[in-house]
Structure 1
């Protein structure tokens, strides 16, 4: 099915474990706040609706998407009890290469932090061509990527727990 016709946040065909045993941090970029706020609400509500305890969800704002890597690193360094970090941001294509540099740096940076700490660090960053595409993916016609990031965090926390034995 073509992306333009699909709600990308449909989890009806997948099993989602309970989030109740896990602790999550959500780092949210303040840049493009209308979009990232919607992503945050989606992520937070998905965690809660899947059993996460409100007291086990820690939320932090950072200036922009570039700072998500540093935030994830600081959060895991200072809070080893966290089971996953969800990073939410929005970078919209402009007229310069800034978009490419930021998107590449954040994707690689978050992957590196995940490997460094052997903990799930979830890339919930929209990388869109325009504002409308961001709106469509932050609670619009294509669902909410914040929901997807939260479900990914739950599933990865469960995987980590399973592999620990």
Structure 2
């Protein structure tokens, strides 16, 4: 089980952080209350470390990889080129196989982005059976997955 106590993720010993680092958060409209909390966790970490960020919104989780790739393509040779992306979403299992298709699509999409782009894309998508499980991951017994995604982005930028 992934709990805050069985990882050294929260130990940020990256040395000197990159000045003017920028992270693009790409979040979904589905399950907005959960996703907004994930975003807030990211922002708290970025504010602490003075990291610039911007949020883009897409309809659902399947659209996350496309929006990230399009943003990169439009900005890669400009001053607005980000140092990392974070895909934020929450997919809650229902009664149909749709859950598995969506989760697999977004997971494979983020994997492809990490192999294709020269900057990291962090997987900040909750894939849970219930809303209660999602809430446990936005500051509950399983920590705050938004904050963890932001810390992961910082570590990947500075590795």
**TM-score, normalised via structure 1 length:** 0.85
Residue 37 of structure 1: aligned partner: 36
Shift of 1:37: 0.3
Shift of 1:14: 4.6
Aligned length: 153
Kindly report structure 1 stretches of 4+ aligned residues shifted beyond 3 Å.
6-14
CA distance in structure 1 between the aligned counterparts of 2:27 and 2:43, rounded to whole angstroms: 11
Inter-partner Cα distance in structure 2 for 1:106 and 1:12: 25
Residues 29 and 36 in structure 1, CA contact (< 8 A), matched pair in contact too: yes
Would you say 1:148 and 2:138 are equivalent positions? no
What SS class does the counterpart of residue 113 from structure 2 fall into? helix
In the alignment, is residue 7 of structure 1 matched against residue 4 of structure 2? yes
Alpha-carbon distance between aligned partners in 1 of 2:134 and 2:158, rounded to the nearest angstrom: 29
Going from structure 1 to structure 2, the CA distance change for 1:44 and 1:13 (only over 3 Å counts) comes to closer
Computed over aligned residues only, the root mean square deviation of the Cα atoms, in angstroms, reads 1.8
Q: Which residue in the other structure is 2:132 paired with? A: 132
1:27-73 Cα deviation digits (max 9, x unpaired): 01110001000000001111111231xxx311111111111111111
2:115 corresponding residue in structure 1: 115
* Structure 1 portions without partners, runs of 5+: 160-165
TM norm structure 2: 0.88
Q: Which has the higher helix share?
A: 1
Deviation at 1:113, TM superposition (A): 1.5
